[in-house]
Amino acid sequence: MKRILLPVFASMHPGKKLLFFFFIVVASMLTGGIIAFFWRGESLVELRIRVFVNQLFTFLIPAFIAAALYAEDRREYLGLRKVSSPVLLGLTFLIMLAFTPLVNYTGFLNAKMELPDVLAGLEESMRTFEEKARILTDRLLSSRKGLSDFALNLLIVAFLPAVAEELIFRGVLLQIFREWSRSVHFAVGISAFIFSFIHFQFYGFLPRFLLGLLFGYLFVWSKSIYIPVAAHFFNNAAAVSLYFFADADTDFLQESQNFGLGNENFIFVLWSLPVFLMLLFLFKKKSS
């Protein structure tokens, strides 16, 4: 069967590949929705199962289906290559640390943006959607009875999204747009835009878009999906860890989330930017 399908799909125009991939995602999401229906209760366990199923059928499964149809070597297509040097993982960790103040500051600016009065209804809808997303996240992270809860939170909220989302946005979409446009920068930019837009959280669009750009270039330079997965996981795990080890109402959690914000802390943004750029240069040089 693969010998019959592969030549057909692999030789398709990238635009047709993108359209067909959209149908793969929709079909997989519908399947996941049917499965998740059996765990529609309000308990934390059922909520975790629904989130797990959603990540699996919205991102992970479509990515592997696309790789199987569009390439002879699925692992090669998705970038499932061994990291060329452990130094790259260390640099990835440092890059994410240096990037944090800038990401927080863009989030601060994004939150201050207001749409024109004619779009007031849309703005209110987006705020409502984001509030629901915040409540869902709070529910997922609400149980802090022991390390088992922490491990589950890391798995469901940090690790699984990092793997699943990177496979679909960098492993598949970036590849399709790169083939279509013949431009690495366009492919990185448009996949980052979709990555941010698909979360439907307008007031977090800019920081998530910047993260998408960073993950994209880390993937292109390293040629390994494990690098952006590690960066994505670090970003998610940092938030999960802060929430777990500090009460949600403590000054420590608030200060950690606001790192780099305000007039007094803006110096962290100015300091971190050249450090971040230097680390990126070292990463690119080491990758080559």
Residue type at position 29? M
Report d(CA 253, CA 255) in Å as an integer. Answer: 6
| Count of CA atoms in the C-beta half-sphere (13 A) of 190 | 17
Check residue 159 and give its pLDDT. Answer: 96
Helix-then-strand count for the chain, H and E: 15, 0
- Taking the whole predicted model, whether its pTM rises above 0.85 is answered as yes
By CB atoms closer than 10 A (0-12, 13-18, 19+), residue 172 is buried
Check residue 76 and give its pLDDT. Answer: 92
Question: What would the two tokens of residue 62 be?
Answer: 């479509």
Collect all residues with Cβ–Cβ distance below 8 Å to 193 and sequence separation of at least 6.
Answer: 209, 212
Tens of pLDDT, residues 22-77: 999 999 999 999 999 888 888 888 989 999 999 999 999 999 999 999 998 899 99
Tens of pLDDT, residue by residue, the chain (288 residues): 556 666 777 788 999 999 999 999 999 999 999 999 888 888 888 989 999 999 999 999 999 999 999 998 899 999 999 998 999 999 999 999 999 988 888 888 887 877 777 777 777 777 777 787 778 888 888 777 778 888 999 999 999 999 999 999 999 999 999 999 999 999 999 999 999 988 877 778 899 999 999 999 999 999 999 999 999 999 999 988 888 877 544 444 444 444 444 545 677 788 899 999 999 999 999 998
Question: What would the two tokens of residue 26 be?
Answer: 């929709």
Report d(CA 55, CA 146) in Å as an integer. Answer: 25
Place of tokens 């890391």: 154
Report d(CA 174, CA 179) in Å as an integer. Answer: 9
Check residue 256 and give its pLDDT. Answer: 45
Report d(CA 159, CA 185) in Å as an integer. Answer: 27
Dihedral sign for Cα atoms in the order 147, 148, 153, 156: positive
Check residue 68 and give its pLDDT. Answer: 92
Q: What are the boundaries of each domain within the chain? A: 83-287
